Copies of this chain bind each other. A is one copy, B any other.
Amino acid sequence: MDYPDALNKLIESFMRYPGIGKKTAERYAFHTLHRFENEDIADFIDSLHRVKEEIKPCEQCGHLTDDSTCVICKDTRRDQTKILVVETSRDVIVIERSRSYDGLYHVLDGVIAPSEGIGPEDIRIKPLLERLRNDDVKEVILALNLSDEGETTAMYINRLLEKTDLLCTRIAYGLPAGGNIGYADVVTLHKALEGRKKY
């Protein structure tokens, strides 16, 4: 004895998401059944339909867009001399929300991870090099996560750029705002000390 088929299927779909277990999936399925108007369901279905069809990477930077070029690449008022390199489109959104950067981006769509068989040719490094042929670009800022893969990828890109006139920089790593030294991990503390500045 369990749920009717359609309800079971909906529960299974919710369980495909990270962190959603059976109980939560059931809760969402019941919420859909009892609280969603037909219009809400139609909206949900429509957005699921559209998301795979319309959303694609920007031809230039790789950021998600529903056009051939994303709004950031289109914006000529932005500083065209800087390209900030990130792992994912989400990183772009988060940095944009922080309003701390006004140059261009480049989304790698991953990092070099030899243990998972992901090499430099599997991420968008080649399109980055092509963009760097443009004379406007003066600086490449690496904003990769503080992980073995992030370090490997940063090192790899930095080495490629050593032969060029481009300035290659990295964002700072250290103790985050609200972070507690007593609970910080070894890598963060190491980076925080290594990156110390004169007061």
Contacts and interface: CB of A to CB of B under 8 A. Distances in A.
Interface string A1-38: 11111110110110011100000001111111100101
Contact of A45 (B40, B45, B90, B93): B45
B38 A52 contact: yes
Given A32-B51, A38-B52, A51-B29, A4 B64 contact: yes
A129 to B, nearest CB: 24
Given A9-B50, A26-B90, A16 B36 contact: yes
Interface stretch (A65-73, A132-140, A161-169, A178-186): A65-73
Interface in A122-150: none
Given A29-B51, A32-B51, A48-B45, A66 B4 contact: yes
Interface size class of A (residues with CB under 8 A): 35 or more
B4 A65 contact: yes
A16 B40 contact: yes
A59 interface: no
Contact of A51 (B7, B48, B51, B52): B7
A175 to B, nearest CB: 22
Contacts of A17: 28, 31
